[in-house]
Structure formats: structure tokens, C-alpha cells
Structure 1
Amino acid sequence: LLLDDIRASCIMDIREQFPLTPIETTLEIADMLSIPHPKDPKTGEPIVMTTDFLVIVTSADGGRRLARTLKPSADLGSPRVIEKFEIERIYWETQGVDWGIVTEREIPQSLVGNLRSLQGCWDTDNLPAVAVPQIERIEAELHRALSDKSIPLFQAALDCDGRLGFENGTSLAVAKYLIATRRWDIDLHQPIKTEENLDILVRGHGSTEMAPER
């Protein structure tokens, strides 16, 4: 489900180790389920639980949040792990957020690495000082350069910076922005390597818009 959502949506933000607050909510859920709430092993005090990833996406039917917990499949047989999952599941259910468990069977490490490398890249606030029209110019130049499959991404980006008069690194940052916002659709199961050419499967799927305020 997570991979399908990533393919069908434009990722706006990914937040790691998202806290399940206020802690009183998870304490109440644990009490309702008659199971122990996670505690600090040293102090014995209840601790704030977290969800590994909160993914904020936009799609044709609007925006939504996806909460996903990563866990090795071998741990799913642990009764204590299942208890904590149940607290987490009910917490997100009360928030109206889609929650699920993802194991190594569902999500390849190459995809995890790509998502980590693209974290924050969908936000224009994290780009060098370039306006939307300049992003469009860079996109056109990069796409033209990368059509030559012998040219690696980093070289195409450096050449683009030189031709358009931007500081080195600007075009590479824009390339990551285009991937993160799905203006450029690529195979995220393949590691993104700047020393290799970038195979753009579909161009122009997303949109070049300023990120919403958070």
C-alpha cells in the first residue's frame, strides 16, 4: 500500500519518528486494552511512543497522511511488539489517519535510501534562490542534457549551472526537487546515483508549486 501511494501521489513531506502526543492519549489506550504502556527502562516513567514515518501526500482526491511503522518480519511474532502495535493502530485510527506496518518484504532498501535522500527536496524553501520560471529553465536544460544517456546526472547538472549562470549545486538540487514532486517520474526501486545517467520514465506528472506553509 505504501508503494502504491508513493507512485500515485506527490509526496509533500516525510517526518521520521513522529511522536504520538499527547502521551495521555496512548496511556488511555493502553489502559483500555489492559496492556503495559512503554516505559523508560531506567526511570520506569512512561515514554512518548513514535511512528517511524508520517508521509504527507497529495493526489487527485486531495491531501492525506499515511502513518507507517517499519519492522523486521521476524519481530512480528513477538506478543509485546503486537501489543505496542495495537496502541499505535488505535492512536492513528482516532486521528483518522491510515496506519500500517511495513517489513523488508514490502519495501526494498534501495527505495528506503532514495526516499531518505529526497527528504525535504519537495519543498521549494529548501532550494537555492531560484524562482519558478528559473526552475522551468533548469528542468528543460537538464532534460535535454540527460537525453544523452552517456552523461551522468552530476555532469549534466554542473553543465546546466554553468550555462545558466547558477551557483554549482543549484541544478542538482532542482533535479531532486523534480523527482520528489514527481515532475520527473523515475524508478525509485533503483538507487539514484549522481555518477550515472538518470532515466526519466515520465516527464511533467507533477506540478511546480510553492510548498504550503506548515
Structure 2
Amino acid sequence: MLTKEQQLKWIKEGRGQGFLSKYKPFLTVKDNKSLNNRSSRVYGYKTGRTHHLFSDLELAVFLILDRNIFIKDIREQMPLNLKETEDLARTFSLYHPMKNGIAQTLVSTFFIVSEATNAPPVYVIRAISHTELENLNILESLELERRYWQKENIPWYLVTEKDIPLTVVDNIKWLYPANYSESKNHTPDKINFYYQQFIRNSHLSLIELSKYIDIQYSLEPGESLLEIRELIAQRYFVFDINISYRKITCGNIKLSEQDSWEVICNASNQ
């Protein structure tokens, strides 16, 4: 439970304000003692700061957002103006979250800034387990949250675990640690080397190819797989993210469409 004074203090401290690395979430893992062990603190490559996530679902949504090249900022645990939500609750006779008679600040899971042509420039996501939708009070507080953002002319979307493809999340979790590796020697020659390997061994799985390369070139076990993972994570190569990296074949891996790598395609055909 947050006292009225604590909520006002956090707002005055700048929580829920700022952008990219300067943004401060209203709630952090440390603040919320009622959370279970599914909470996590995860570094965001897009924002350059640590994000505070309160469930596996929130983590899954965050990883998908952080991987999306069109999304420019992710602000989690975004607070809604308490006075405005109380006014809306009275106007529409909706339940407002209370604890021991004290109104609690509503918090949206993610506030997103996007440059995608087929998406609004800003929008809000509320991530919640589908089992919680059976609770009438929760349903009314969600409607309150929706009306709040509607008043701000900002699209609001509800996401449950049923909306998250597990294979996509698994792939992103595999790629995530390699997004910005310390390795800086991904030269055109190295990229072209793996590109040729993918073409010549299109029938092999990614795991099979990496074992073959490690043996043929006297590399440490797993060394080539690590390099391939880094190249895919950093978008030099792409594959259908809906297919598990454990099942894709080399023929499924394509050279990125980045203009800077077109020369590699041309060279390989000569």
C-alpha cells in the first residue's frame, strides 16, 4: 500500500517522467514488496537503462518491444494522474483501486514511442494475466485506465499471455544477450564467410552447421554458434522469428536487407 504522501513524493521526485535513459518508472522491483519471484530487472538496449518488470508476461512483452527496430522508447510502470482517474471513476461509476481507504495510483505497463508507419506514434500497453480478467474490480479498473488514455487521445491495448507467441519469446531470449556483444570484429569478410556457409549447407540445422565449422576450422566448441548468434542479434542476418532457432536450417537464414550489405550478395554471385 502507498500512502497519499508517498505517491505525491514519488511524482515530485520525477517518477513517471523523462525519456530513454532519463525515464524513471513509478514503481520499481525494490518498491513493491508484494511481488513474487517472477519480477526482473532487465537492461534495455533501446533506452540504455534498467527496466523494472513484474511478471514473465511483462518480460516477454518487453523483449519483443526492445527487439522492434521501429520502437524508439519504452517507458514501463507509467503512472496515471490520480486526481483525473478519481474524477473519471466518479463520472462513470467505476471501481478505483483502493487500499485501506487510500486511492492508489493506476499504472500502465508500457508507454511506447514508435516510428512505424502502420502504428500510432505513441501508444500504451497494459499486460495482465487472462485469469485476472475474471475479477470485476480489475475489469472496472482496466476500463478506467482505457478511458484515461482515450481522454488523452492515446491508443491503449490490453495484452495477455494468450497474445504472446512462445516461440518468438524463446528466440528473442536466445538473441537478447548478443545484441551488443563486446565483439567488434564482425568484418565484411566474416559476414561473407557465414553467408557462404549458409548457402553451401542449406540442409543443415544451425546447430549442425556450427559443430561442423568448429571442427573444420579448429575452433573452440560453440565458438561459431556464438558468432552466428551475434550476427543475427545485430541484424546482419535474419530468419523467420516464428520458427525456433533450434529448428531452423541454414536455408532459412537470409542476409539482411541493409543497403550496406548488398555488396556481399553481389560478390557471392560472381
**2:245 counterpart residue number:** 192
Larger C-alpha radius of gyration, 1 or 2? 2
CA distance in 2, matches of 1:145, 1:107: 33
- Aligned pairs for 1:27-176 (under 5 A) are 27-34=83-90, 35-39=94-98, 44=102, 46-47=104-105, 49-51=107-109, 53-54=110-111, 57-60=114-117, 64-93=121-150, 97-119=154-176, 126-130=180-184, 134=186, 136-147=188-199, 148=201, 149-153=203-207, 156=210, 159=213, 168=223, 169-176=226-233
Pair 1:88–1:113, CA change in 2 (3 A): farther
Shift of 1:56: 5.1
| Preserved contact between residue 13 and residue 120 of structure 1 (Cα < 8 Å) | no
**Quick one: distance in 2 between partners of 1:96 and 1:138?**
48
How far apart, in 2, do the equivalents of 1:207 and 1:55 lie? Answer: 28
| Matched length | 185
Measure how far apart 1:49 and its partner are: 1.4
The CA RMSD measured in Å over matched residues stands at 4.6
Identity of aligned residues (%): 12
| Aligned equivalents of 1:12, 1:128: Cα separation in 2 | 24
Unaligned runs of 5+ in 1: 209-214
CA distance in 1, matches of 2:184, 2:249: 24
CA–CA separation in structure 2 for the residues paired with 1:157 and 1:90: 55
DSSP-derived class of the 1:10 partner:
coil
Q: Which letter maps to 1:32? A: L
Between the aligned partners of 2:119 and 2:163, the Cα distance in structure 1 is 25
- Cα-to-partner distance string for 1:99-124 (whole Å, 9 max, x where unaligned): 212234433222233344445866xx
Tell me which amino acid in the other structure corresponds to 1:38: P
Deviation string 1:13-51 (CA, Å, 9 cap, x unpaired) is 6848x1223x5x144223322245435x58956255131
Q: In 1, Cα distance between the equivalents of 2:166 and 2:141?
A: 24
Q: Which amino acid aligns with 1:174?
A: L
Task: Give the conservation status (yes or no) of the 8 Å contact 1:38–1:49.
Answer: no
Give, in whole Å, the separation in 2 of the partners of 1:31 and 1:191. Answer: 48
Between the two structures, name the one with larger relative contact order (CA 8 Å, sep ≥ 6). 1
| 1:90 Cα deviation from its structure 2 partner | 3.7
- Whether 2:66 is the aligned partner of 1:10: answer no
- C-alpha spacing 1:69/1:63, structure 2 compared with 1 (3 Å): closer
Asked if 1 retains the 8 angstrom alpha-carbon contact of 2:171 and 2:244, the reply is yes
CA distance in 1, matches of 2:211, 2:114: 27
Write the distance in 2 (CA, Å) between the matches of 1:157 and 1:63.
44
Contact 1:146 1:156 in 2 (8 A): no
Q: CA deviation at 1:85?
A: 1.7
